[in-house]
Homo-oligomer: A and B are copies of this chain.
Amino acid sequence: MAQEISALVFDAYGTLFDVHSVTRLADTLFPGRGAALSAAWRTKQLEYTWLRSLMDRYEDFNRVTAASLDWSLEHLGLEADEAARRALVAEYRTLAVFPEVPAALDAMARQRPLAILSNGHPEMLEAVVEHNKLRNLFRGGVLSVHAAKVFKPHPSVYALAENRLGVPRSLTGFVSSNGWDAAGARTFGFQVFWVNRGKAPVERLGVRPDAVISNLSELAELLKQ
């Protein structure tokens, strides 16, 4: 590392929790179309966070998630009643954690405070953290953009973590599997670890992550050195 790291901040969706674990329920409701629905839904969900932020029309992530599901269902020609739509949105409260995450977090939490910084509505976030029994690992807090009323990668979101942790951004490690989130955090001034789970190309947004890893076990190893 270029500098010591006094705290670690993690993105939630896609980094700790697998957003595509909704595919199973989606596939039960719409046999053979679950993966397509999950992919369209996630893409549109992110688009809406960026667009609403730019239009200065923040709406919480639970609503954005429901709205983007509605668009995706219509886009794919799938019909769902209110109960099915509610069940799909509720899946965000019980998303599966990636398999290596609990042990890796446990190792890292012994060395420095860990926090979550996420687009999620505070209740959605608390629910998925509780569901996966990770709450006691995040001494630094489970922080939501909801306090800033704008989504990532707006700089005021990353400032929430700096203010809450009381650790200068240059001594804070930020961990995300979303390349655009990694770029936003790097622009803000965090030391950034991009978890490139899907071997994606690096985003061309004018900054590069400080390190690229393929999962959180690799990060735990790297930070031991």
The size of the chain A interface, using a CB distance under 8 A, is 32
Q: In the complex, which residues 52-81 of chain A have their Cβ closer than 8 Å to any Cβ of chain B?
A: 52-57, 59, 67-68, 70-71, 74-75
A53-B54, A153-B54 known; A71+B206 contact, CB < 8 A: no
| Pair A180/B51 contact, Cβ less than 8 Å | yes
Select one of B51, B154, B184, B200 contacting A183, CB under 8 A.
B51
Contact of A221 with B by CB under 8 A: no
Contact of A32 with B by CB under 8 A: no
Contact of A204 with B by CB under 8 A: yes
Q: In the complex, which residues 28-68 of chain A have their Cβ closer than 8 Å to any Cβ of chain B?
A: 47-48, 50-57, 59, 67-68
| Pair B204/A51 contact, Cβ less than 8 Å | no
Residue of B nearest to A46 (CB): B47
Q: Give the distance in Å from the alpha carbon of A140 to the alpha carbon of B70 in the complex.
A: 38
| Per-position binary interface string of chain A over residues 160-204, scored 1 when its CB falls under 8 Å from any chain B CB and 0 otherwise | 000000000000000000001001100100000000000011011
Question: CB-CB < 8 A to A71: which residues of B?
Answer: 201, 203-204
Question: CB-CB < 8 A to A113: which residues of B?
Answer: none
Question: CB-CB < 8 A to A52: which residues of B?
Answer: 205-206
Q: In the complex, which residues 118-137 of chain A have their Cβ closer than 8 Å to any Cβ of chain B?
A: none
Contact of A102 with B by CB under 8 A: no
Contact of A155 with B by CB under 8 A: yes
| Pair A75/B153 contact, Cβ less than 8 Å | no
Q: Give the distance in Å from the alpha carbon of A121 to the alpha carbon of B67 in the complex.
A: 32
| Pair B205/A48 contact, Cβ less than 8 Å | yes
Question: CB-CB < 8 A to A50: which residues of B?
Answer: 47, 50-51, 54
Q: Give the distance in Å from the alpha carbon of A180 to the alpha carbon of B71 in the complex.
A: 12
Q: Give the distance in Å from the alpha carbon of A131 to the alpha carbon of B17 in the complex.
A: 49
Question: How far is the CB of A80 from the nearest CB of chain B, in Å?
Answer: 14
| Pair A51/B184 contact, Cβ less than 8 Å | yes
8 further contact pairs, Cβ within 8 A, besides A51-B205, A55-B183: A47-B50, A52-B206, A53-B54, A54-B54, A54-B151, A56-B155, A75-B200, A75-B201
